[in-house]
Chains A and B, each alone.
Chain A
Amino acid sequence: MQAMTDHVFKALSDPTRRSIFEGLTRDGEQTVHALTRRAGISQPAVSKHLTVLKRAKLVRHRHEGRETHYSAQPQALAPLADWMSQYGVFWRERFDQLEKLLERMDK
């Protein structure tokens, strides 16, 4: 699970990959050619980005004739929700620490 979370964060830390992922989420399945036209970078570069997204399970692909079609798998974003819930725990603990500090400041 931790490894999966890392893959998701790594995949989404790059603006080009975010844009590819958002495009697929918004507009549905697309071929590598179509994605390359939109991204404005070389096809090998797009393919590299798709590999990273695939490793994070954010996209999946299927072959049809000579074309490879990619689609978004937004359920792979679940680790982000977990991340947010971890922040909930994080801040509650920090609030406790803050209150302890405030008590110490009285002395």
Chain B
Amino acid sequence: MTATTQTHSLVIEREMPHPQEKIWRALTEGSLIEAWLMKNDFQPQVGHRFQFRAAPVPNWNGIIDSEVLLVEPKSRLSYSWGSLGLETVVTWTLTPTEGGTHVRMEQTGFPSQEGPNYKGAKYGWRSFIGKLEHVVAEAN
């Protein structure tokens, strides 16, 4: 939506008993990504445009158009995630812990509206935001 529209995020975090380097490989090597996420032509280079491809389902061609936005080896990876006319951004953050690695996935850019532009918000908008916040709280 427009730049003035505030957005909501989805955050999923999990601690995994595996070293950071290994998880980084799983997030950045095409064949490994395919094993847990989707077919892809990902390359860990900023600016690289690629696609994730899932099996098409009714009303969805299964394609996610992406561009690599950030690569900080072993710690941060970010790519855009365009599907069904809406573009969000997926960011992975890996932080070493005593027992392994803390894995955080944040998907940002879900449309919302809390800004001053939407003072006239009615019931529907509030219920929409309420639902989103519920989802985010669950994800945390």
Contact = CB atoms under 8 A, between A and B. Distances in A.
B86 interface: yes
17 contacts: A12-B85, A12-B86, A14-B85, A18-B1, A19-B2, A22-B5, A25-B125, A74-B124, A75-B123, A78-B124, A87-B107, A88-B138, A91-B10, A91-B107, A94-B37, A101-B26, A101-B35
A75 B110 CA distance: 16
B117 A26 contact: yes
Interface string B1-34: 1100100101010101010001101100000100
Contacts, number: 112
Interface of B: 1-2, 5, 8, 10, 12, 14, 16, 18, 22-23, 25-26, 32, 35-37, 58-59, 84-86, 103, 105, 107, 110-111, 113, 117-118, 120-125, 127-128, 131-132, 135, 138-139
Contacts of A14: 85
B128 A77 contact: yes
User: Which DSSP category, helix, strand, loop or mixed, fits chain A's interface?
Assistant: helix
A84 B110 contact: yes
Contacts of A83: 84
A95 B85 contact: no
Interface residues of A, number: 39
Contact of A102 (B23, B110, B138): B23
Interface in A77-107: 77-78, 80-85, 87-88, 91-92, 94-95, 97-102, 104-105
B127 A75 contact: yes
A97 B36 contact: yes
B12 A91 contact: yes
Contacts of B26: 98, 101-102, 105
A97 B37 contact: yes
